């Protein structure tokens, strides 16, 4: 099956989108630990990402709080369970790694949940940026803490004006 890709300009930089004609499989940041570049065997095309582009633009414009897209993140069963749990964190809210671990039924697995969170192949859309340390501090993020802060502030300004995650 052909993998398509497209780079999309956003307020947090040029994001790499990759997937097939059925689903988004990857969203890569332009820098930091989740920096991603396209594979030479992939085909450049905006067409498969028309709805993804529309929904990302709406999100960054403050007009969308939930994504409704076909997603196909590749991972282990446990990772997929954690990524599904991430999608349960309400817009504009944050959970600790412990809260997420309890939510997915693995209350003693905070570290493993954190590791799975860090491997999320579709950040922003699968909102791993909504997970923070148990002390309320921002912790590691594949797109960088500045990007995480930007995303949390974007969401909190719409959900509960006055919160600031800087």
| Cα–Cα distance measured from residue 118 to residue 136, given in angstroms and rounded to the nearest whole number | 18
Answer whether residue 92 is part of any domain.
yes
- What number of H helices and E strands is found in the chain? 5, 6
pTM: 0.91
Number of domains in the chain: 2
Domain of 151 in residue numbering reads as 77-159
Positions annotated as catalytic residues are 128
DSSP 8-state class, residue 130: G
Of 12, 27, 60, the residue that ends a domain is: 60
Question: Is 48:19 a contact under the CB 8 Å cutoff?
Answer: yes
Q: The tokens of 158 are what?
A: 């719409």
Encode the chain (166 residues) as per-residue pLDDT tens digits: 899 999 999 999 999 999 999 999 999 998 887 788 889 999 999 999 999 999 999 999 999 999 999 999 999 999 999 999 999 999 999 999 999 999 999 999 989 999 999 999 999 999 999 999 888 888 888 888 999 999 999 998 876 555 554 4
Helix boundaries (H) for the chain: 50-60, 77-86, 97-103, 110-118, 145-159
């Amino acid at each position: 099956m052909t993998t398509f890709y497209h780079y999309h300009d956003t307020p947090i930089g040029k994001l790499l989108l990759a997937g097939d004609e059925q689903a988004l499989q990857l969203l890569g940041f332009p820098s930091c630990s989740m920096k991603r570049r396209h594979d030479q065997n992939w085909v450049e095309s905006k067409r498969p990402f028309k709805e993804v582009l529309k929904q990302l633009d709406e999100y960054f414009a403050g007009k969308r709080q939930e994504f409704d897209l076909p997603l196909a993140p590749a991972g282990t069963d446990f990772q997929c369970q954690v990524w599904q749990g991430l999608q349960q964190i309400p817009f504009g809210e944050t959970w600790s790694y412990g809260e997420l671990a309890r939510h997915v039924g693995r209350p003693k697995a905070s570290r493993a949940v954190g590791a799975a969170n860090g491997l999320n192949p579709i950040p922003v859309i699968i909102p791993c940026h909504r997970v923070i340390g148990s002390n309320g501090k921002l912790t590691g993020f594949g797109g960088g803490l500045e990007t995480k802060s930007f995303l949390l502030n974007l969401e909190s300004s719409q959900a509960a004006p006055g919160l600031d995650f800087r």
